[in-house]
Structure 1
Amino acid sequence: MNTVTKEASNLGQKRLLHLIETKQAIVGVLGMGYVGFPLALECVDKGYNVIGFDKNSEKVSLLAAGSSHIQDIEDDRLNSALQTKRFQVSADMSLIQKCDIIVICVPTPLDKKDKIPDLSYIDSAVDSMIAYGRQHQLLILESTTYPGTTKKKIAERMASSRRMEIGTDFFTAYSPERIDPGNSQYEVSDIPKVVGGITQTCTELASAFYSTIVTSIHPVTSPEVAETAKLLENTYRYVNIALINEMALNCRELDIDIWEVICAADTKPFGFQKFIPGPGVGGHCIPIDPFYFKWIANEKGLQTKLIDLADEINSNMPISVSDYALKLAGKDKCSILIIGAAYKKNTNDPRESSVFTIMEELMGKGCTIDYHDPFISKISLNDGSRKQSVPFTKEQINQYDVIIIHTDHDVIDYSILKDASPIIFDTRNVCREKSADNCRVVTL
């Protein structure tokens, strides 16, 4: 690099840092889902001008009209951001050229058949960056992925296609999202950000940006470290959930109350972390992330025995729940009501929810299945059929042979289950906690 080019690059870095420090930087967030939308609003709250990008025109129209699609974000907050004139939502990717900072928050699903990473959304985002990006932009990936993605799929593609040098002409970093839907205890600004840039300058610029958004930054030496840290966080949870699920199934056969066991073990002030069993593992993180690590490890000829075993246990839980529900009914072709379709309590998020497997297993055995969820009015099954949430009343619930409590939403009035005719199969131990006594309750 000659002296003139180096000086121009240094000026570009200093200008970008100045724009961050003074909140004059325009922030583009690619993907207005459960991660990108809250991040975009947090950036607006902190004083930035923000463009929220999404290729779903229906979602863009709803957001532009002030209608939030995420339960954690009320319409009033969205409308306040729109009224500031510092937030706009668009499907026009050419507006990327106006942005100084671009944060990619797109889905990274798995191929459901083979559980192979699907990075097509990231590839599409990078295509847009190549088409519309410009010099001296900071590009940050937040989507969960396997180590090496930021470097190979983003930085090297950008450098090759745009003939720009990483760390001087443009800047790239990885900072994993850590949003927990339905958890009001931790806002975006409360959660520490791990940041790993391709170069030291990339790390410094990304850290400078996030330090204006969140209270704590943890820089690491590379994107690969940051990418793997996210995978470790959720693989840790996946493996421990498998452990407690296996314990629950075995305790049931041994006629031991697993919930009492957990409460007893949780009295130990050190060396034990409480995990609870459930009907399956859902959401877009815990049942997905371990397989991003498994894939890259297996590609290198390495073994992932714990992940494989955890997958065997966790994947079998919905089937175990459906089989046990049939056993409780004591007859074939019974009628079953499932309470809660979301993958976790107090959210309207059905992604990867175990309810789908449970429904399909039971329907495949001739059962009549309904569900009630106060946050999800309708769901689509894998066979293309649709179901609508039914009322949760004394008259309604007494029509069924078995009621499965799948998701323990706080807003549900569980006292309705008192003196109910059906057997209650409580996979969440909610009846005991909500004092819905005088009913025939069987726990997981």
Structure 2
Amino acid sequence: MPEPETGKPDAPAKPAHPHTATLKRLEQSSGSLAAQAIARMDETLPWYRAMPPENRSWIGLVAQAGIAAFTEWFRQPDAPQAISTDVFGTAPRELTRAITLRQTVEMVRTTIEVMESAIDEVAAPGDESVLREALLVYAREIAFATAQVYAQAAEARGAWDARLESLVVNAVLSGEADEGAVSRAAALGWNSPEHVCVVLGTAPDGDSELTVEAIRRAARHAKLQVLTGVLGDRLVVIAGGRNDPLAVAKSLIGPFAQGPVVAGPVVPDLLAATRSAQAAAAGLKACTAWQDAPRPVLADDLLPERAIASDPSAREQLVEEIYRPLEEAGAALLETLSVYLEQASSLEGAARMLFVHPNTVRYRLRRVTDVTGWSPSDVRSAFTLRIALILGRLADGDPQL
């Protein structure tokens, strides 16, 4: 008695491709089409001819991959396919830096034109319109894929550039700037301007990337080079290209949040920018002591507050730039300034204490202004001069101060 059949039924046969003849001819022609595309590029694209052989070979591989991807797409137009991976995955990531988006579009256009011109030869009789329509749809998809590749490359490059910029800004602010920081800055387009200063203030709430971009727009408008970043609640800008730190700060002040904005002194290069950054940071810390301080304000205009707040560089600067020059100019200037300040800025009172004519006091005070750059008749300058005198006397009594 025969045994019953227990085997599984045969799987249904895979349906044949509706355009088998065209697909076969397309597969056979892919190599020659790629060669024609490369020859057309060499003939019509000057930038392609000028490229090094290695890059030309990568572009040739991309063209071949594009034609192969079209063949596979024509075979299964409804199957999910990552065209960007199929076509551009054959080339290294560096190729997006070697050729521009415009050049890539020209390369894709040339390859599509070669394929379009060969439709009558490649398509089986009666399939010309089908193949032409498929090529038009594929051209649209490859255009989207090209845009995606360059968008991803730009995004990755932007993230890497932001990290480099943050490293440079942090190195300057922390006093660790070295030749490595200079190299990183150069990679970001910093071309070593002669005049550099650092501007510090409070960062606004919200997306720090938008704040950084706003600083860059302001810098472009002011024709300044900048390296910038948000560190904690501080917005830090290293600006180059102008020998006026107050003008620099005014041109960049828009994106800063409410509160003091302090500009450090101008220094010659990025390696010296730490000095400007430290002065600006000390000024920002001490600015609360001067409630009527302008916005923005120079770090050097905050020397007395910084000195009181134990900033050693401010103390040294007041002694070396005010007290010592007065000391060298003669005892009469120091004595006259001291008495004038003690007499509530009264010419007559100082003259009586010094047993001289008021005009003599007036002359000596003009000499103080010439020597130091600070006018004793101005209230703010008088305060700075008084602190400088105190620090100078302390330094004479204790050389360590």
TM-score, normalised with respect to structure 2: 0.27
Largest Rg, 1 or 2? 2
- Higher strand content, 1 or 2: 1
TM-score, normalised with respect to structure 1: 0.25
- Higher helix content, 1 or 2: 2
